[in-house]
Amino acid sequence: MRIIPAIDIINGQCVRLTKGDYSTKKVYNENPLEVAKMFEDVGIECLHVVDLDGAKAKHIINYKFLESIANNTNLKIDFGGGLKSDEDLKIAFNSGAQQVTGGSIAVKNQELFLNWLEIYGADKIVLGADCLDHKIAIQGWQEESDKEVSEFISSYVNKGISYVICTDISKDGMLQGPSFELYQTLLKSTPPFKLIASGGISCFDELPKLKELGCEGVIIGKAIYEGKISLKQLESYQLNQL
């Protein structure tokens, strides 16, 4: 199972939110590149970068920070937030993203999202399935859709999607544990896909449980920044998986 630390960016700073609420913003570092290098130094290979300014503005904004991380580390970066057009996507890939995650666009403009999938392939286009009470949420989690998460994922897996990041918004930033039951249900009730768990990770012991469920990866944010999971623990986990 891949360990994927998250760097969420607002105004060029590394921040975390609680349940996607921008008013809960907490700044952890003013230099995202410094944070990325810290992860790379302990053997982390993948990074999830979210342009929270872009998610709110509905177009990519913080691509210069993506470029800086890509040019100065060997991390494989998945980038999301504000990707709403072909131009946004080109900017993300040209700035060094190796994967991009589309959530709102997959709800609002299925035709465009499927066109991206056809052009770039399933290894580069990740489906973002962020949900609250099993309903997909969009626009930086500011809006709820009528899409049920299991049906939403199934429909896209049947159209060729391989990777899905699923965040239970009620768990995000709460440090009270991930949505084990949700992930178990999704992995049992949908066609095979690579599930990346996100939201609520609170301690190291939850990681083996997610792996046992069949998660392909796990995104960890606040638990690292608040010292609930140490970089040393992540380093040991990475070495034990080799």
Q: For 36-79, write each residue's pLDDT tens digit.
A: 999 999 999 999 999 999 998 999 999 999 999 999 999 999 99
> b vs e for 96-131, b when ≥16 Cβ sit within 10 Å of the residue's Cβ?
bbbbbbbbbbbbbeeebbbebbeeeebebbbbbbbb
Residue 80 has pLDDT above 80, yes or no: yes
Task: State which H helix or E strand residue 135 sits in.
Answer: strand 135-138
Residue 143 has pLDDT above 80, yes or no: no
> So what's the pLDDT on residue 27?
98
With beta carbons less than 8 A apart as the criterion, state whether 73 and 31 touch: no
> So what's the pLDDT on residue 140?
57
Whole-Å CA distances, 33 to 39, 53, 54, 132, 172: 10, 17, 18, 31, 23
Residue 3 has pLDDT above 60, yes or no: yes
> So what's the pLDDT on residue 238?
87
When pLDDT is averaged across residues 82-106 and rounded to a whole number, the result is 96
> So what's the pLDDT on residue 240?
87
Model pLDDT for residues 162-199, shown as the tens digit of each residue: 999 999 999 999 999 999 999 999 999 999 999 999 99
**Active site members:** 8, 130
Domains located in the chain, CATH noted: 2-241 (3.20.20.70)
> b vs e for 197-232, b when ≥16 Cβ sit within 10 Å of the residue's Cβ?
bbbbbbebebbeebbebebbbbbbbbbbbeeebebe
